Amino acid sequence: MNQQQKEAKYPVATDADSHRSTLTDDPSAHEAPAKSGHTIPVDKLLKTDNRSPLTTNVGQPIADDQNSLRAGERGPTLLEDFLLREKIQHFDHERIPERIVHARGAAAHGQFQLYKSLEELTTAKVLTDTSSPTPVFVRFSTVAGSRGSADTSRDVRGFAVKMYTPEGNWDIVGNNIPVFFIQDAIKFPDLIHAAKPEPDREIPQAATAHDTFWDFISLTPESMHMIMWIMSDRSIPRSFGMMEGFGVHTFRLINAQGKSTFVKFHWKPVLGVHSLVWDEAQQIAGKDPDFHRRDMSDSIKEGNFLEWELGIQTLAEEDEQKYDFDILDATKLWPEELLPVRRVGKMTLNRNPDNYFAETEQVAFNTTNVVPGISFSNDPLLQGRNFSYLDTQLSRLGSPNFTELPINRPVASVSNNQRDAQMRYTIDKGRVSYAPASLDGHSPDEVTPSQGGYKTYPEPVSGPKVRVRSRTFDDHYGQAKLFWNSMSGPEKEHIVKALQFELSKVETRSIRQRMLKNLQQVNKMLADQVAAALGEPETDGLARGSADSVEGAQKLADAMSETTASGGLQTSKALSMEGQPGGPKGRKVAILVADNIDVDQIVALKKALKKAGAIGELIGSSLGMLSESMEITKTFANTSPALFDAVFVPGGAGASTLKSKGDACVFLAQTYKHGKAIGVLGEAVELLTKALPEGAAFNKLGVVSEQNDSRQDQAIDQFVASVGSRHWKRPALELVAA
Ligand code: HDD
């Protein structure tokens, strides 16, 4: 490269673009791009300038970054080459340990806006001050897989929210399931060791379908309620924005009079709760392992922000013992029919992080990050978590100064006598780093509770020191039954199939049999259906019947159990995903195309989709322009129907060409099988006839087909309206070859 070429590639820096990121708190000192929402410390530290001259980490300008320093053109590399050594050594140390659980995650920035002050319940400013929104950073994760595993593994999803409040950071470190596997934190290492890949061969990755997991579960009946959730479609969400979030534990809110109220936190997605089916989840894991994180960042980029309402369930202190479940037991939920969820504010995720490592990887959540007016209950799982999070950040991020990392810094000012340690950035002035101190620049003053200082709720406690589990935690099956009873027929079928899949992968028969015994405690029909797939005898002489047959499906739908520990409820509507708000918003439609397809219909469809908040993507045999303004962005080879919520084929001669393409037929057949919306117009109706078996649904159950030109607009509207719905009961499903 001659000098002129070099200058063209690396333009000479001007004063305006030569600054680097610094640690000043003055936002005007940087040229951070315009952002929506509030500024938090991480924004102020954003390095926006990549056009300045290349330098080492101490600012020495670098003239040649392509060649190391050698003794002679073909000679050995010299130790003197400090440029080579700095670059390679920095690279050698780039990785930090991944999280011990929840290693794979994706995050976004946003804000929380409270609707109305909750001052009757709490003094927390974030829950009493409606005047301005609180900045938030939210990380979603899977639990068992490594950082490079797939998004759509069957797993709990972490739902960790960091609120940068004026009284310090408040973290709700929750999941998308309201209960947990175990009641006591002392069992957490066992649970995770059992769920993670088996230690001899490190198999399987990001999957619970293996012996050690089910061995532990089969010997841990308290996990059965959680198992019902995990085996339901809740553990394979359609997108992060279509999941509920739960704080899981019982917390306390404390008001200005010092009165405490028990509380559970919920995040209710505005788009409703929706899931994939297992077949899709497995395909997506291969076709697009980044499915969820891509969906979130694309949605935000397109202005389709993700939204949840914060919900609270509250319980008066004096009602602590009112129900037949213990509110300190994290394997139990509070049925919403008994204790309704009050929606108190809205969280909107509207900005993608700028740098995965600096923000999403380095963010550190902690259940002890609470603010005045919010406190803990004695839930033994929460108490153990309150120890674990700070501890894990120390080893993962390497120093107690991890709170100084930009993403972890509070907006509230920090002032104390803690000093030094590795990677300290703050430069504390003066001689005083102790209290009490009389010397100049004396220590920061304590803040009394009346001035807003944090005060632990003075709950009276007494009793002998004992290692026991309270008898009030004894009921392990009652709420598992409530969950089972509350499922619709198709939801029950999906649970059965998930258990059949998982347990059939367990190699040790005694573990499978022990699991069947546990399942019998939840529901005999459920256990029998699973036993059938495992080649085990029926348990109770109950007629087995395949869930695939109409009678079998009905029997399963009708199979109920007598509940306990559920406050007298036999079912709870809130537990089922059926009847959730739905529709096309946030959905993706595959539009199959070939040369000479009807472009006007695509224009009309895209317009209708846009209006409904959905998007359409063109899929053809190769990339390229279909018309002057319409681009084919995916090929049959690089995508899959599993990545879309619906499929549409316009009419025209091109639709007839698609008839000779097996790929197009598979696209339609699989979309039919997975119960998703299909729209075909004109000549494409014949394509659909070819793709589906005899007896399949046409013009009903989410399949829209219209040959008549004059009715195409209505057909498009009808198709768009059915995008986002699933039709589980389509005829001839067992004949579909896909
Ligand atoms: Fe945990 C991470 C949620 C029980 C110990 N946990 C972690 C994350 C979430 C949860 C969302 C990821 C945070 C992030 O995105 O960085 N954990 C839960 C929930 C639980 C739960 C909802 C039960 C109700 N966890 C739990 C127990 C323990 C831990 C009982 C230990 C006693 N969890 C950890 C951890 C992690 C973690 C080892 C790993 C990475 C991290 O903390 O920052 O400390």
pLDDT tens for residues 666-694?
999 999 999 999 999 999 999 999 999 99
Residues 632 and 546 in one domain: no
CATH number for the domain spanning 631: value is 3.40.50.880
102 lines ligand 1 (CB under 6 A): yes
Average pLDDT over residues 599-618: 96
* Distant-in-sequence, close-in-space partners of 648: CB < 8 Å, separation ≥ 6: 589, 590, 591, 592, 605, 616, 678, 679, 680, 719
Asked if pLDDT for residue 568 goes beyond 60, the answer is: yes
Asked if pLDDT for residue 20 goes beyond 80, the answer is: no
Can you list the positions of beta strands (E) in 474-598? 588-592
pLDDT bracket for residue 267 (50, 70, 90): very high
185 lines ligand 1 (CB under 6 A): yes
Other beta carbons less than 10 A from residue 234's beta carbon: 24
Domain range holding 135? Answer: 105-408
Per-state percent for the chain, helix, strand, coil, to nearest 5: 35, 15, 50
Residues 289 and 384 in one domain: yes
Q: What is the pLDDT of residues 165-221, one digit of tens each?
A: 999 999 999 999 999 999 999 999 999 999 999 999 999 999 999 999 999 999 999
Task: Note whether residue 426 is domain-resident.
Answer: no
Task: Note whether residue 6 is domain-resident.
Answer: no
Q: Could you tell me the distance, in angstroms and rounded to a whole number, from the CA of residue 101 to the centre of ligand 1?
A: 7
| Per-residue model confidence (pLDDT) at position 442 | 86
Residues 346 and 374 in one domain: yes
Number of domains composing the chain: 3
Q: Read off the pTM.
A: 0.94
46-60, 308-322, 497-511, 604-618, range with the lowest pLDDT = 46-60
Bond before 204 cis per omega within 30 degrees = yes
384 lines ligand 1 (CB under 6 A): yes
| Per-residue model confidence (pLDDT) at position 545 | 57
Asked if pLDDT for residue 453 goes beyond 60, the answer is: yes
Asked if pLDDT for residue 623 goes beyond 50, the answer is: yes
Residues 570 and 601 in one domain: no
388 lines ligand 1 (CB under 6 A): yes
CATH number for the domain spanning 538: value is 1.20.1370
Average pLDDT over residues 412-436: 95
Contacts 24+ apart (CB under 8 A), 281-287: 281/152, 281/153, 281/154, 281/236, 281/642, 282/152, 283/640, 283/642, 284/150, 284/151, 284/152, 284/640, 284/642, 284/643, 285/150, 285/151, 285/152, 285/153, 286/150, 287/639, 287/640, 287/642, 287/643
Pick from 365, 382, 394, 397 the residue to mutate for probing ligand 1's pocket: most ligand atoms within 8 Å of its CB: 365
> 254: part of which helix (H) or strand (E)?
strand 251-254
Q: Could you tell me the distance, in angstroms and rounded to a whole number, from the CA of residue 99 to the centre of ligand 1?
A: 9
CATH number for the domain spanning 337: value is 2.40.180.10
- Domain boundary, last residue among 516, 544, 575: 575
Residues 540 and 593 in one domain: no
Residues 565 and 595 in one domain: no
Q: What is the pLDDT of residues 273-296, one digit of tens each?
A: 999 999 999 999 999 999 999 999
pLDDT bracket for residue 495 (50, 70, 90): very high
Average pLDDT over residues 115-120: 98
Catalytic residue among 169, 175, 176, 366: 175
Residues 633 and 560 in one domain: no
| Per-residue model confidence (pLDDT) at position 50 | 73
Burial of 542 (0-12, 13-18, 19+ CB in 10 A): middle
Residues 675 and 527 in one domain: no
| Per-residue model confidence (pLDDT) at position 14 | 35
pLDDT bracket for residue 31 (50, 70, 90): very low
Average pLDDT over residues 620-633: 95
Residues 546 and 663 in one domain: no
Task: Note whether residue 91 is domain-resident.
Answer: no
Residues 593 and 570 in one domain: no
The rounded mean pLDDT for the chain is 93
Task: Note whether residue 46 is domain-resident.
Answer: no
Residues 146 and 283 in one domain: yes
Residues 247 and 389 in one domain: yes
Q: What is the pLDDT of residues 64-106, one digit of tens each?
A: 999 999 999 999 999 999 999 999 999 999 999 999 999 999 9
Say yes or no: ipTM exceeds 0.90: yes
Average pLDDT over residues 133-161: 98
